[in-house]
């Protein structure tokens, strides 16, 4: 008598049980990315100890000063955050509303205030992403097909791009000791 081959069965997936795990994993990955995780440094690492006398200095071959990059990143991040959570938000005029008026910070206090606002808005975006009541995939009602997921990814990408510029600027100005 021939033995019958056992029919291979695929275990049934528990999609309902897996969904919360996937949602949590996605949120954790987004937060990691927003904080600057991965193959690069954190945004605050590029700002920490930036010499006050060089914050408004142009480096040969580079288009922006540290003040311009910080303020631009802060303004764009604020706009993305407010768009994500506030239907009454009105974005600044593009591009002039996303850049400071001068290449030099008006004062050390202005620099510190900008750094603090950048950190605060980043933490707010992280809280929005971490909040399990935030549907990352739902269209933002006042947007044009955007979702919180898309906005978080745009923000992480934008911050990463300007982080690279800040590091290049610090290197060109001789103010970078981290590699």
The pLDDT, as a whole number, for residue 15 is 45
User: Over the stretch 70-126, which tens digit does the pLDDT of each residue have?
Assistant: 999 999 999 999 999 999 999 999 999 999 999 999 999 999 999 999 999 999 999
Q: How many residues make up the chain in this entry?
A: 179
Calpha distance 8→170 (Å, rounded): 60
The pLDDT, as a whole number, for residue 13 is 46
pLDDT band at 179 (very low <50, low <70, confident <90, very high): low
Question: Hey, where are the domains in the chain?
Answer: 57-172
User: Would the pTM count as exceeding 0.95?
Assistant: no
User: Over the stretch 87-96, which tens digit does the pLDDT of each residue have?
Assistant: 999 999 999 9
Q: Which tokens in the block code for residue 119? A: 């950190």
User: Over the stretch 124-164, which tens digit does the pLDDT of each residue have?
Assistant: 999 999 999 999 999 999 999 999 999 999 999 999 999 99
The pLDDT, as a whole number, for residue 17 is 52
Q: What HEC string does 3-64 produce?
A: CCCCCCCCCCCCHHHHHHHHHHHHHHHHHHHHCCCCCCCCHHHHHCCCCHHHCCCCCCCCCC
User: Over the stretch 55-65, which tens digit does the pLDDT of each residue have?
Assistant: 999 999 999 99
Calpha distance 159→34 (Å, rounded): 8
User: Over the stretch 3-44, which tens digit does the pLDDT of each residue have?
Assistant: 555 555 545 444 455 677 999 999 999 999 999 877 678 899
Q: Cβ(76)–Cβ(117) under 8 Å?
A: no
**Long-range contacts: 132-141, Cβ < 8 Å, 24+?**
132/23, 132/27, 136/23, 136/26, 136/27, 136/30, 140/83, 140/84, 141/87
Calpha distance 132→125 (Å, rounded): 13
Calpha distance 106→112 (Å, rounded): 11
- Residue 163 is given by DSSP the state H
């Amino acid at each position: 008598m021939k033995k019958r081959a056992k029919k291979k069965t695929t275990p049934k997936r528990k999609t309902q049980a897996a969904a919360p795990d996937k949602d949590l994993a996605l949120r954790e990955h987004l937060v990691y990315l927003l904080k600057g995780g991965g193959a690069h440094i954190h945004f605050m690492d590029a700002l920490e100890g930036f010499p006050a006398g060089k914050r408004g200095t142009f480096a040969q071959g580079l288009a922006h000063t540290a003040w311009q990059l910080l303020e631009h990143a802060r303004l764009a991040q604020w706009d993305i955050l407010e768009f994500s959570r506030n239907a009454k938000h009105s974005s600044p005029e593009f591009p002039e509303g996303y850049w400071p008026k001068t290449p030099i910070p008006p004062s050390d206090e202005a620099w510190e205030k900008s750094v603090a606002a950048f950190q605060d808005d980043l933490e707010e975006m992280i809280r929005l992403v971490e909040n399990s009541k935030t549907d990352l995939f739902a269209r933002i009602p006042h947007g044009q097909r955007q979702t919180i997921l898309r906005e978080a990814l745009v923000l992480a990408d934008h911050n990463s791009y300007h982080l690279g510029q800040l590091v290049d600027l610090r290197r060109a100005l001789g103010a970078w000791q981290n590699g």
